[in-house]
Amino acid sequence: MEEVDVVIVGAGPAGLATSACLNRLSIPNIVLEREDFYASLWQKRAYDRLKLHLAKEYCELPSMPFPSDAPTFVPRRGFIDYLHSYVSHFRINPRCNTAVESAYHDEESGKWHIKAKKADLNVHEEYVAKFLVVATGENSKGFIPEVSGLDSFGGEFIHSSKYENGQKYKGKAVLVVGCGNSGMEIACDLSNWGVKTSIVARSPVHVLTTNIVYIGMRLLSYGVPCNIVDFIVVLLSKLKHGDISNYGFPRPTRGSFYIKQSVGRTPTIDVGAVEKIRRKEVQVFPSIRGIQGSKIEFANGEVKQFDAIIFATGYKSTVRHWLKGGQDLFDGNGMPKLCFPNIWKGKNGLYCSGFARRGLFGISVDSQNIAKDIDLALRNERILIGIPDARVC
């Protein structure tokens, strides 16, 4: 059993940022990570051509800007290098291959008890902490929806987190399910590799460009009201892409930034897929009605044959698999009950980071708030028991 002030579960950007903020305040903390290295979503479960869809100024973690020569929209490899520098600079030491199996708050001691399994050594460990930070985030486990007949599909079907590039699919017919950022970018990449590509548009979506989003973000930062920003953004999108409903993408009735702020759904950033759809290099279908063998029937009655399906259908939280209690902060799906910006703090020293649905910017805000709150709690505790605070901040 090991006792420490703070245990952080998850060594993605949220966990790393929280640990860095605590380290800057000289607050002892341990980061537990189930994978064999930190930031596994970026290092192992992201496709090759991925770039940050927001400008670098909105994607910085606390206390470390990107290098001045970094491109405005940082590629995956560049962001991984940035994380390596971040871990080194703030002396973060994640304990990898350590999967948390349970965590509960002991009322008698007033502390959190965390049980974990060290996979590489096949041993169990236990930690006791005054504070528990859940940093596994909203993108913990790839989600594939239930589709009638999917078990009969004769080809390959994978979640987008396992997609690397389109080389292995050359000459095949591939269906991408989902027209969010991952789905549209994977569809574009497949087409670039000469794959016969189709995509399923299951719901209305705003399709913007990186520059349009950047303009919107800047206007919001200058205090322009969200409804005016949304009007400008939609107008620019129409000028750029025309009426995307003609291509099978109905546009939502509410603006993109309103939707982002209210429900956390991000607009789709086009990286070339719209032009391929316009040239009929990528075909758009409505929702899947059912699958029989290699044949897929769509909601409009069309039936097509495919060799592979890639589900770009998002992720699910896994918090409820291991966290006992915490109902004041998390709902039954493992997502916070509270609304931004007060989403990060529960009761009994329970916190969460990376659940605000506001990307890396939200992670930066959460991690700083958590570290400041823990620092204040520890200071008050020392005052109550008459111990001088010798920590250097």
In what helix (H) or strand (E) does residue 234 lie, and over which residues does it extend? helix 226-241
pLDDT at 390 (0 to 100): 57
pLDDT at 140 (0 to 100): 76
- Contact by Cβ (8 Å): 53, 210: yes
CA distance 99 to 119: 7
Residue 164, CA distances (Å) to 21, 76, 186 in order: 33, 12, 9
Give pLDDT tens digits for 66-80.
999 999 999 999 999
Instruction: State yes or no: pLDDT of 388 exceeds 70.
Output: no
Sign of CA dihedral 369, 103, 381, 30: negative
Q: What percent of the chain has pLDDT over 70?
A: 98
In what helix (H) or strand (E) does residue 79 lie, and over which residues does it extend? helix 76-89
Q: What is the mean pLDDT of residues 13-21?
A: 97
For the record, the structure tokens of 241 come out as 């892409």
Give pLDDT tens digits for 186-239.
999 999 999 999 999 988 899 999 999 999 999 998 999 999 999 999 999 999
pLDDT at 358 (0 to 100): 83
pLDDT at 99 (0 to 100): 95
- Contact by Cβ (8 Å): 17, 61: yes
pLDDT at 368 (0 to 100): 97
pLDDT at 304 (0 to 100): 96
pTM over 0.75: yes
For the record, the structure tokens of 167 come out as 């080389």
pLDDT at 350 (0 to 100): 97
CA distance 272 to 164: 18
Residue in this structure with the two tokens 């009761």, named with its chain if needed: 347
Q: What percent of the chain has pLDDT over 90?
A: 72
pLDDT at 392 (0 to 100): 47
Question: Is the model more confident about 24 or about 332?
Answer: 24
Q: CA-based diameter of the chain, in Å? A: 75
Instruction: State yes or no: pLDDT of 47 exceeds 80.
Output: no
Tell me the Cα Rg of the chain.
Answer: 23
pLDDT tier at 30 (50, 70, 90 boundaries)? very high
Q: Compute how many other C-beta atoms are within 10 angstroms of the C-beta atom of residue 280.
A: 9
3-state SS class at 256: helix
Mean pLDDT computed over every residue of the chain:
92
pLDDT at 117 (0 to 100): 95
